[in-house]
Amino acid sequence: MTAEERIYCLEFEVTTLSGVVNRGELERWTPGFCGEHTEREHVKRYQWVGQFVKGKDVLDMACGVGAGSLMMRTAGGAKNITGVDLSGAAIKYASIKNRHPDVTFVEADGTRYTSDRKFDVVVSFETIEHVPDAVAFIGNVHAALADGGLFIVSTPISAVVLNERPDNRYHVREWGFRAFQEFISKKFTVERVFVQVTGVRQSRLERLTARVFGRARQPGFSYEPVPWDGRRHPVDDMGRKISAYQILVCRKG
**All structural domains of the chain with their residue ranges:** 48-251
**CA distances in angstroms from 201 to 43, 156, 198, 242, 244, listed in the order given:** 24, 16, 10, 6, 11
> 43 CB contacts (<8 Å, ≥6 apart)?
71
Give the single-character DSSP code of 64: T
Q: Cα dihedral sign for 122, 128, 134, 135?
A: positive
Which position has the higher pLDDT, 29 or 67?
A: 67
Phi, psi at 202, each rounded to 5°: -110, 145
Condensed to tens digits (0 to 9), the pLDDT of residues 45-99 reads 999 999 999 999 999 999 999 999 999 999 999 999 999 999 999 999 999 999 9
Closest CA to 41 of 248, 224, 247, 226: 224
CB atoms within 10 A of CB 126: 20
Model pTM? Answer: 0.88
* E-assigned strand segments in the chain: 57-61, 80-85, 103-107, 119-125, 145-156, 162-163, 174-175, 189-200, 226-227, 242-251
Lowest mean pLDDT among 38-42, 60-64, 113-117, 214-218: 214-218
Phi, psi at 171, each rounded to 5°: -95, 135
Instruction: Please tell me the predicted confidence (pLDDT) of residue 219.
Output: 47
H or E stretch covering 210: helix 204-213
Instruction: Please tell me the predicted confidence (pLDDT) of residue 198.
Output: 85
Condensed to tens digits (0 to 9), the pLDDT of residues 120-157 reads 999 999 999 999 999 999 999 999 999 999 999 999 99
Instruction: Please tell me the predicted confidence (pLDDT) of residue 154.
Output: 97
Output the average pLDDT for the chain.
89
H or E stretch covering 126: none
Q: The domain at 48-251 falls in which architecture?
A: 3-Layer(aba) Sandwich (3.40)
